[in-house]
Amino acid sequence: MTAANREEYLRIMETRHSVRQYTGRPIPAETREKLGAYLSRINEESGLHIQIVYDEPECFGAALAKYGRFGGCRDYISLVGKKDIPDLDERCGYYGELLVLEAQRLGLNTCWAALTHGKSKAETDRDEREVIIISLGYGTTSGNARKSKTPEEVSNITSDSPAWFREGVRAALLAPTAVNQQKFRFTRTGGKVRGEAGKIGPCLKIDLGIVKCHFEIGAGRENFEWEE
């Protein structure tokens, strides 16, 4: 990722919020092509079977979705992968968030949805699992800013921490997490960083993938190594 790209993605993270109400305006062919090209690259790199389902209002028209305050949504991203991938949830979080950021770059809005949706029309083979879906489309608004934990609450940051770690943690705090729980922790030892999921809460492994995606973009992949 170039410096200009990184700056652009950081701006996207700052302006992106969950959106649950959509206008229903169809996504134009040109945008579908761009998203499709990005999706192919992501599926190739990740080994996942992520799909975008267009013009299908039933999934987010279901009672559960309405209860979850969704409306007007007719497109969504389905995160599907082989059941035997050991880190399937985390991987879906990581690559799903790359798609969320790309969608936002293309002027679309999104919301991760683990629970508040009906049946998805994505293809899931016998040896696969649909981990989660993400609503997609043009929002009636661009969403609202929300509360966030502080860098000190989610990392071992100090006044001596290098700028890249500071930026990584800042980007991670801009990431969406289930019920805005922000239950993750980044611990730096020299040039190594350990990212850990919280212990109690919903979708913690998906959250971990999402926040690691943001951390990498914020910190710059060339500045550190992940410690397993």
Ligand X SMILES: Cc1cc2nc3c(=O)[nH]c(=O)nc-3n(C[C@H](O)[C@H](O)[C@H](O)COP(=O)(O)O)c2cc1C
- Kindly report the backbone phi and psi dihedral angles of residue 35, in degrees, each rounded to the nearest multiple of 5, phi listed first: -65, -40
- Per CB under 6 A, the segment of 52-60, 74-82, 165-173, 199-207 that binds ligand X is 199-207
Please give the residues from 6 up to 35 whose contact with ligand X meets the rule CB under 6 A.
17-18, 20
Q: Is 203 left (phi over 0), alpha (psi -120 to 50) or beta?
A: left
**Residues whose CB is less than 8 angstroms from the CB of residue 95 and which lie 6 or more positions away in sequence, other chains included:** 42, 45, 46, 48, 50, 79, 209, 213
Minimal distance in Å, beta carbon 160 to ligand X? 29
Closer residue to ligand X in complex, CB, 111/224: 111
Please give the residues from 129 up to 148 whose contact with ligand X meets the rule CB under 6 A.
132, 143, 146
- Is residue 96 close enough to count as binding ligand X by CB under 6 A? no
- Is residue 115 close enough to count as binding ligand X by CB under 6 A? yes
Minimal distance in Å, beta carbon 39 to ligand X? 19
Please give the residues from 151 up to 180 whose contact with ligand X meets the rule CB under 6 A.
176-180
**Residues whose CB is less than 8 angstroms from the CB of residue 54 and which lie 6 or more positions away in sequence, other chains included:** 26, 27, 32, 74, 75
- Is residue 126 close enough to count as binding ligand X by CB under 6 A? no
CA–CA separation, 149 and 64 (whole Å): 29
Specify the pairing of strand 225-226 against strand 192-197. parallel
Minimal distance in Å, beta carbon 177 to ligand X? 5
Positions that interact with ligand X (CB under 6 A): 17-18, 20, 68, 111-116, 132, 143, 146, 176-180, 203, 206-207, 210
